[in-house]
């Protein structure tokens, strides 16, 4: 067995001071350092807004994206969908959706372009449930 890594021991001590408990045994030194830096930044500048934290928790619990984030898809957001072995990333822009350098006026037009058939764009990208049921 080799010598103990002094950086690891230092990061463990800082972790315990920062979070109040020892880190999980499997964390790398690099990850610990990043997590500590993130926590310090949050404490200095504020963390995620409470609403965003709740949305992330809902997603982690397996709720649909629509239930978690509702209709708050704004310019700058990216929607990702895999279809027939290809991953498509659509950027939400003012007045439409950008895919492969082209701007589309509706998400349904993007879905039709990808699949070749008529789809509900919000449903295709997981923003709306089946059967038009409100979520």
Tell me what the pLDDT averaged over the chain comes to.
Answer: 82
pLDDT at site 133: 40
In 3D space, the residue among 51, 50, 82 whose CA is nearest the CA of residue 68 turns out to be: 51
pLDDT at site 132: 43
CA pair distance 99, 116, nearest whole angstrom: 15
CA pair distance 120, 135, nearest whole angstrom: 16
Give start and end residues of each alpha helix (H) in the chain.
6-19, 29-45, 50-60, 65-69, 107-115, 121-124
Q: Which has the higher per-residue pLDDT, 126 or 129?
A: 126
Q: Tens digit of pLDDT for each residue in 60-78?
A: 787 765 555 555 678 888 8
DSSP state of 130: G
- 29 with 11: CB under 8 angstroms? yes
CA pair distance 99, 101, nearest whole angstrom: 5
pLDDT at site 66: 56
pLDDT at site 98: 93
Q: What number of residues does the chain have?
A: 135
pLDDT at site 65: 59
Q: Tens digit of pLDDT for each residue in 22-58?
A: 998 888 888 889 999 988 998 888 888 887 788 778 7
pLDDT at site 90: 92
pLDDT at site 67: 54
Q: What is the DSSP string of 103-116?
A: EES-HHHHHHHHHS
Q: Taking residues 110-125, what's their average pLDDT? A: 90
């Amino acid at each position: 067995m080799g010598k103990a890594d002094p950086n690891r021991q230092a990061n463990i001590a800082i972790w315990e001071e920062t979070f109040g408990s020892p880190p999980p045994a499997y964390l790398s030194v690099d990850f610990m350092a990043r997590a500590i830096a993130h926590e310090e930044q949050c404490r200095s500048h504020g963390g995620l807004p409470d609403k965003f934290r709740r949305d992330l928790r809902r997603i982690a619990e397996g709720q649909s994206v629509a239930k978690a984030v509702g209709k708050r898809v704004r310019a700058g957001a990216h929607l990702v969908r895999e279809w027939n072995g290809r991953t498509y990333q659509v950027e939400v822009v003012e007045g439409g959706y950008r895919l492969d350098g082209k701007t589309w006026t509706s998400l349904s037009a993007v879905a039709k372009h990808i699949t070749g058939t008529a789809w509900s764009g919000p449903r295709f990208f997981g923003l709306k449930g089946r059967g038009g049921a409100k979520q």
